[in-house]
A and B are shown apart, each in its own frame.
Chain A
Amino acid sequence: MKKRALAMLAGALTLGVLLAGCGSGKDAAGDGKQQTGPASKYVFALDGVEVAVNADMAPLAEALGEPSDYFESESCAFQGLDKVYTYGGVIIRTYPQDGKDYVLSVELKDDAVPTREGIYIGADREAVLAAYGQPTDETATALRYVDGDCTLAFILAENMVTGITYTSDAA
């Protein structure tokens, strides 16, 4: 009798644990805060300042100091300004949302600054693969790595990196 009860208990508990442990991680108990998309491991660092796509540009602009060039264009129907900040060979583009500017893309134009993983413009395809592993997708002219809300693309010409861009997928 006692054994049977114990067996039942053990079975019930195991089933409970198994059932509760399975699944895709959907959590009904959210905190109600707005999600702009999962953060990405691909973040660019310029002069020690981390510039992630979809980050608020205001504090970044302050930390990065005066840009070497700045351009802004009014969106149609006055929905805000699209801004382009140039810091030497790095171009940061923003998009407006709810009265703030967020980073749309970061583009490396020359070999003055590498990515955080050490890839410069001019590196070869193998160096990118060694630093980043297999890309999410690959074409004849680009290696693309997607993580969270960011796509990191290495533009290739004759097996050499000619452009590097971090682009927001959430915008």
Chain B
Amino acid sequence: MKGRRWPAALGVALGVLGILYLAQRLLVPKYQTGVVEGSMVAEYYRERVDHDLIFIGDCEVYENFSPVTLWEDYGISSYIRGSAQQLPWQSYYLLEDTLRHETPKVVVYNVQALRFSRPQSEAYNRMTIDGMRWGPAKVRCILASMTEDEHFIEYLFPLLRYHDRWGELTGDDVEHLFAKDPVTHAGYYMRADVKPQTGFPAPQALADYTFGDMPMDYLGRMADLCREKGVELILIKAPIEYPYWYDQWDGQAAAFAAEQGLTYLNLIPLRQEIGLDMTRDTYDAGLHLNVRGAEKLAAWFGGWLLERIDLPDRRGEPAYDAVWEEKTALYDAMKQQQYAEIEQYGELVTFGANAVEG
């Protein structure tokens, strides 16, 4: 190449890279309004204090436990690393990722997702994985999670996946081009509305109730990793009846826990003890708890936990106080806003389904 053509080629190449970078920032979904679940995993990296308790799992943790209650009632610094339909292998890699940043005393894993034996949905994969920081855990998580039609390169360059969103851009995409607002409260997704549980269809008879090899392998790896790091792993099943949690599944979870010397706690039979009233404590007819239910569950669970494990009360430690005061203020403000909307409109307007655009 003639000497004088190099600079132009290089300049244009850099310019093109810049444009593609900006296009990517613009076109990748921001998950700021309505569907906020895609923001959850990345939000963890904003945390300024360590956590003694980490929840890992799907919606059965991020919608059912209120870390702010755990803080207010017991001074437990906790965080929920959960996302929509978070599969066991994704939970494992998120745990691996978390343990690179901090070493909590307890990790609580919700076993509901063990029923999934293979990769499920591209949309959920993206919501869970896109927010992870790049590292070996993310690479392995992608490889374990990809469905047949997915490509690794589309995780590496999300523009290739989201390039066609130019027809559906919203104000959020411009407003949050470079910075996003927090949408959770230490990983908790708040809903204050109420829709009573009325009943569920009869459970489907299954030909085989055995959990698949893949989820059990990753559950085993979670146990090994926690042992290696000196972290107490507790398995739970959230107090939600639907999708149906079969006795056979419960037995396998309990057997695994016994074999590994872990604690397994099925919360479904304990609902009365917890004080859950599923005519008032759920926002979607019993699939998830609302904030009232999440606070009740956190209050009960914190007490149960402290009876067994000595977790420090961080209240009074300035670094923790500063962070949790801020979180509590945000939490209370959002709760008030949601109650106000329900009061005024009879339903949530800027949260949940009504806020989903398109």
Contact = CB atoms under 8 A, between A and B. Distances in A.
Complex contact flag A–B (Cβ < 8 Å): yes
Interface of A: 69, 71, 73-79, 84, 86, 91, 93, 105, 107, 109, 139, 141-142, 144, 151, 153-155, 162-163, 165
B34 A78 contact: yes
Contact of A77 (B84, B200, B202, B206): B84
Contact of A78 (B121, B205, B287, B353): B353
A153 B207 contact: yes
B284 interface: yes
B123 A79 contact: yes
Interface of B: 34-35, 37-38, 58-59, 84-85, 121, 123-124, 127, 199-202, 204-208, 242, 284-285, 287, 353, 356
B202 A91 contact: yes
B88 to A, nearest CB: 16
Given A74-B353, A79-B121, A107 B205 contact: yes
B204 A76 contact: no
A126 B35 CA distance: 51
A73 B285 contact: yes
A126 to B, nearest CB: 18
Given A153-B207, A155-B207, A76 B37 contact: yes
A73 B242 contact: yes
Nearest to A162: B205
Given A73-B284, A73-B287, A77-B84, A165 B204 contact: yes
A141 B124 CA distance: 33
A144 B123 contact: no
A144 B84 contact: no
A103 to B, nearest CB: 13
B120 to A, nearest CB: 9
A74 B124 contact: no
27 contacts: A71-B199, A71-B201, A74-B353, A75-B85, A76-B37, A76-B124, A77-B35, A77-B37, A77-B38, A77-B84, A77-B123, A77-B124, A78-B35, A79-B124, A84-B201, A91-B201, A105-B204, A107-B204, A139-B208, A141-B207, A142-B208, A144-B208, A151-B207, A153-B206, A162-B205, A163-B205, A165-B204
B40 to A, nearest CB: 10
Contacts of B121: 79
A31 to B, nearest CB: 18
Contacts of B285: 73
B91 to A, nearest CB: 15
Nearest to A152: B207
B85 A76 contact: yes
Contacts of B208: 139, 142, 144
Nearest 8 A-B pairs (CB), nearest first?
Answer: A163-B205, A153-B207, A142-B207, A76-B84, A77-B37, A77-B84, A84-B201, A76-B59
Contacts of B127: 77
A59 B35 CA distance: 30
Contacts of A139: 207-208
A61 to B, nearest CB: 16
A57 to B, nearest CB: 15
B202 A165 contact: no
A53 B59 CA distance: 27
Contacts of A76: 37, 58-59, 84-85, 124
A69 B123 CA distance: 30
